Amino acid sequence: MFDYAQGNESRGTSPFPSSASLNDSLGDIDLVSDAVQSVPSRGSSSLEPPKPRSSSQLGPRKGHKKSRGGCFSCKRRKIKCQETLPSCLNCLRRSLECKYPEVLPHELDVMTVLRRQITRPSAALQSTPTLFTMDDMRFFQHFILNAYPHLPVNNSQVWIQTVPAFSHNYDYLMHSMLGLAATHLSAITNVDYSDAALSHRVRAIEGFNKALSKKPEKEPDGDALLATMYSLTFQSAFMSDSLIEFLIMVRGCVMLSGQLLSQSSIAFFVIDWYSHLRYMEPRLDDLPFVDMALAEGAEASLEALNFVLEDEVNSFYYSELTNVVSGIKASSKLGYWRLVGIYNVMGMLSDANFSAFANPNNTVGQILLAHFMALEVVLLPMLEREYDKTFPTNQLINRCSWFDSIERSVPPEFRHFVRWPAEILNNAREKWKAMAMTSGLTVAKKT
């Protein structure tokens, strides 16, 4: 990662694009999914045994890669496993217990990880017809005008012109764009498009998972995958009760970006770290100072959690947060770089460590995530500089709902650890509510 500070200071990374260290750790990983050995067909119902064929009749045997990531049930039955969590579709259909073998981090194929984690929201959901409606046309226009992701930075023209131009060749990309736009419209208006948004999301994820099994062949293939991943991630940011899904999608952005960069599979998006640096450095001039009282409040709140340093699952995230606070105290710019660097951490964790950290039952992890949301609010004037136009306040509105869920889930004996994040986010909620009154936005009420 690129080091922004001197000496032993913390390193800063881009929000999603993978750094060189991530690429090095992944190595040259093939995008092609492991193929499961096919199951021999059953014999004829006739009592006469089938006649053996000669090797010349059989022809050359096709090579295959044996899947190591399938669940135990599918391995026993010798069928292809979808490798999705918490259960593969085969086990889900037959109401079987679905367990996966434990794979060491260095043995993980990045695409296997993505296929396991980026699953359908619900196996019971039904997809929409292939024909697009008048609402879909409105969603498409809204995506181009107002709802496209602002990341990776300095790619607005790609989102506005290039992606819409080739999206008709990739159904999963089109559905991800329409899903994001529908969710965004629901968040900023009084019209509920949630059914359409979720339906498009289901179809986008289904098509995306299929596309991940193939290596990009022609020029826009990699860009279509990346645009879909970002659209799904930003849609998660507007969805209530989707914090875990958001973390999974962020992790997917980091891992997919690193993979596509290492294979030179990106034709239009500019996603390398140094482009992010060159774009943002001039925009971070003349930053306002952060109120030191806020930084000191964050420091004191995190100091009360210093017992986390003995916790293997949560200590990494705790250290990243304390680095952000120390960066804020040094300068607003350093605070910004360290904050956006935290996004990259999600893609560097092993599959097991990420699952343990993101687990909703991990109380300490949830408390740390609440602190991250509060620090986003503190550094909001800096994050605004990433946008080409006015920062959409509703981008962070949903954080209040996520925090409310965390606050409700924290046991009483841990409740004092979320006082500082509660103060920051509840104050922000009131400010955003006042802004919404003048712009027609809908702000989530405290539940």
Predicted confidence at residue 33, as pLDDT, reads: 33
Closest CA relative to residue 10, chosen from 304, 365, 334, 378: 334
> In this structure, are residues 277 and 11 in contact, taking their beta carbons and an 8 Å threshold?
no
Predicted confidence at residue 93, as pLDDT, reads: 74
Predicted confidence at residue 249, as pLDDT, reads: 94
Coarse DSSP helix, strand, coil percentages of the chain, rounded to the nearest 5 percent: 60, 0, 40
Residue 360 DSSP one-character state: T
> What pLDDT digit, counting tens, does each position of 243-268 carry?
999 999 999 999 999 999 988 899 99
Closest CA relative to residue 159, chosen from 92, 72, 224: 224
pLDDT band for position 217 (cuts 50, 70, 90):
confident
> What pLDDT digit, counting tens, does each position of 169-185 carry?
999 999 999 999 999 99
Which has the higher per-residue pLDDT, 92 or 167? 167
pTM above 0.85? no
The maximal CA–CA distance of the chain, rounded, in angstroms, is: 86
* Residue position matching structure tokens 């022609």: 218
> In this structure, are residues 340 and 283 in contact, taking their beta carbons and an 8 Å threshold?
no
pLDDT band for position 395 (cuts 50, 70, 90):
low
Predicted confidence at residue 406, as pLDDT, reads: 95
> In this structure, are residues 348 and 22 in contact, taking their beta carbons and an 8 Å threshold?
yes
Predicted confidence at residue 15, as pLDDT, reads: 41
